[in-house]
Amino acid sequence: MASKSLLLTASLALSGLMAIAAEPKKPDCAPFALPDLKLTWVAPDIVHNGTPLQIRRFDSTDSVQAILARYRREWKASAQSPQDAIEYTVGGYQVMAKLRDRCFYTVQARSNGAGGSVGMLAVSQLQDSNQPRVLGKDFPMMSGSVVAADMTHRDPGKEARTIMLMNQFSTNANADFYRRVIGGDGWNITSDHLVPFKGGNGNGYAMTFKRGFNETSMVISRTQGGSSVLVNLVDKP
């Protein structure tokens, strides 16, 4: 009975496992103010936990303080946007963020070691709170699992989804569950590797399933009190 109850928590008909749920469109926001920066796309179209997001890397000969000063002027409080930008430091980067209408703009910058700066520009758009995103929707997981992150990557001709979930079960139990649930629905297990932990304290797993043009790979690791499962689902990898 226990194994049957676990299978019932799969939460979907597995024939639709790789279908990417309907997601919001790209951020419909005013253009990001772009001074003289060298820009490279990092993530032109992703959805992170239900929020559409775009990220670009920048390189500049200007200092970090010069970059931030430009955005400080650009994002100064006004009648339409009465709050100044917020500023903080995280992971060696100086960060400035501003909410304008329903769009959230972020600049993070650090020195490039040669008098200039390097960093990221990101813009996301807040979604209607009456349509909450169900994280991990349509992906099978063991009872009591908690989804920490659910990100969709939309590249031309290919879509991918990354899910991070955690539960109180062992790595062995999680691996057995996914072998049964995914492997039992026409998916071929193309790799299933035992990954010993240092010191002989248990094992993790690296697994890959394929069906047609679709691929699901996962890494199952031990955490304090249970396991984490990092899943990558790719359509036309």
Q: Could you report the per-residue pLDDT of 177-232, keeping only the tens digit for each?
A: 999 999 877 899 999 999 887 766 678 999 999 998 889 999 999 888 899 999 98
Distance CA 29, CA 51 (A): 13
For 62-109, give the DSSP string.
S-HHHHHHHHHHHT---SSS-SPPEEEEETTEEEEEEEETTEEEEEEE
What's the pLDDT at 31?
79
* pLDDT tens figures, 53-110: 888 999 999 999 999 999 999 888 776 666 778 898 888 899 999 888 778 899 999 9
* pLDDT tens figures, 131-188: 666 788 889 999 999 998 888 877 666 778 889 999 999 999 999 999 999 987 789 9
Distance CA 49, CA 152 (A): 9
Report the predicted TM-score, pTM, of the whole model to 2 decimal places: 0.60
b/e burial code for range 175-186 (CB count within 10 A of at least 16 → b): bbbbbebbeeee
What's the pLDDT at 127?
67
Domains of the chain: residue spans and CATH: 2-23+132-235 (3.40.1000), 38-125 (3.30.530.20)
